Amino acid sequence: MSHSITSNMRENVRVTGALEVLSFDDAGVVCTTELGVLAIKGANLRVLNLNTDTGVLDVVGVIDSLAYADKHQKGKQSILGRIFK
């Protein structure tokens, strides 16, 4: 499996190499990928598809940002807390 991200007009995102969705709501989706934790922020977000067999995650809505969590960062705050501050 390989990891890639494609977006079309900031209205949808397809992530390959997705392993699991850790959390989601209409403002953000946090998932683990082969290369670490990925946070997708935006508005009216919906997870359309997560296929763990193929590693494909499809998210639709207004995409504002995509960011990887720095797994080497130290501190008391969780990864999710740092991503959504």
73: CATH: 2.60.40.2000
Q: pTM above 0.75? A: yes
- Percent of the chain surpassing pLDDT 70: 80
CA–chain centroid gap for 61, Å, is 13
Tokens matching residue 71? 């797994």
- Percent of the chain surpassing pLDDT 90: 78
- Number of separate domains in the chain: 1
Q: What is the domain extent for residue 79?
A: 4-83
Residue 42 has pLDDT above 90, yes or no: yes
Q: Where are the alpha helices (DSSP H) in the chain?
A: 79-83
